[in-house]
A = this chain, B = another copy of it.
Amino acid sequence: MPSIDYAALVALLARILARHGYSASNAHVLAETMAMAERDAAHSHGAFRLEGYLDDASSGWAKADAVPRLLPSPAALILVDADNGHAQPAWRRGRDRLVARAGELGLAGMVIRNSHHLAALWPEVEDLAEAGLVGLNFRGTRPFLALPGGRAPLLGTNPWAFACPRAGQPPIVFDMASSAMARGDMLLAAREGRAVPEGAGLDAEGLPTTDPAAITGGGAQLPFGGVKGGLVALMVELLANALTGSLLALQDQSAEVAGAATANGGQLILAINPGASGGQGFAAQVEMLAAALEATGARMPGARRHAARARSLREGIPLEAERLAELHTLAGD
């Protein structure tokens, strides 16, 4: 398969976004977000999402030239209004302040309101881990998920992420949907006509199905892990939306706007300073735990993505020739 440099992929995606209404700075941030996922072989959040960004903008649903702004807040909270744009520029707007506050106060959080999200959740917590902080990240989505025993999709698939820094190694990091399957993987399966595992969702009649098109076309996804996963989904809905003063999934109006690819919703990001909370022993404890788990053959979460990243940075990011040609067409080349 042909490959493309990370920087070249960012530039190409940014040109496409800028050509479709995105401000230069938003185009750059969102292009980086997609290129980071491609670089890490996390394809369901990579260039696959480009059409969603274009549709969000062309439908007028999300604001392509949004300018996120900081709101007044107490010391341990950073409040950012995303101006009805995507959340990643809002994250960049407050990120340095969050890192500084967590360092100083031991713990700090960012609340993002009035925002859209089409990406993975690990980039934010990996930023925090690179700054030596432990990170948690909670995000709402469109209403796609029914609780076990129900059939109405009242909750989002409600992804969340965690990262913990390691000394001299990539962080321990995971990013999981509260649903049995991530929405991106469900959409990819529908696009490729692949069946999904039992328990992944219900059809429009509320009956179990393995057909992703039936689940995404009027049905509902189900949480991972039964009742407990449903509680996780409920918690993320409360933390990401209610607690941030944002709209709930069940208030989402995007289905009434042709092309809209996202909910206008919220996000909560927490950052903890392990030096303040755990003292000097923290790094050694993390290494002891990682070594014990790795000795049983387990891989630390995030390891496959970090290995793909190292490979991409060495050899370029694999990209099918046909897709690359499509991207150049979208860029007007």
Interface residues on A, range: 35 or more
Chain A residues 102-159 with CB under 8 Å of chain B are 104-109, 111, 134, 147, 149-152, 154
Q: Which residues of B contact A62 (CB under 8 A)?
A: none
* Interface-lining segment among A18-26, A27-35, A51-59, A236-244: A236-244
Interface pair A242/B297, CB less than 8 Å apart: no
Proximity string of chain A (230-250) to chain B, C-beta cutoff 8 Å, 1 when within and 0 when not: 011011011101111110101
Interface pair B176/A250, CB less than 8 Å apart: no
* Interface-lining segment among A75-83, A210-218, A314-322: A75-83
Q: Which residues of B contact A286 (CB under 8 A)?
A: 238, 242
Give the number of times this chain occurs in the complex, counting copies: 2
Interface pair B106/A75, CB less than 8 Å apart: yes
Known A-B contacts A228-B176, A245-B277, A285-B241; A296 and B74 likewise in contact (beta carbons under 8 Å): no
Interface pair A289/B75, CB less than 8 Å apart: no
Question: Would you call A193 an interface residue if the criterion is a C-beta within 8 Å of the partner chain's C-beta atoms?
Answer: no
Question: Would you call A172 an interface residue if the criterion is a C-beta within 8 Å of the partner chain's C-beta atoms?
Answer: yes
Which residue of the partner chain B has the closest CB to A154? B292
Question: Would you call A268 an interface residue if the criterion is a C-beta within 8 Å of the partner chain's C-beta atoms?
Answer: yes
9 new A-B contacts, CB < 8 A, other than A107-B270, A149-B297, are A73-B106, A74-B104, A74-B105, A77-B276, A147-B298, A149-B298, A234-B301, A251-B288, A268-B277
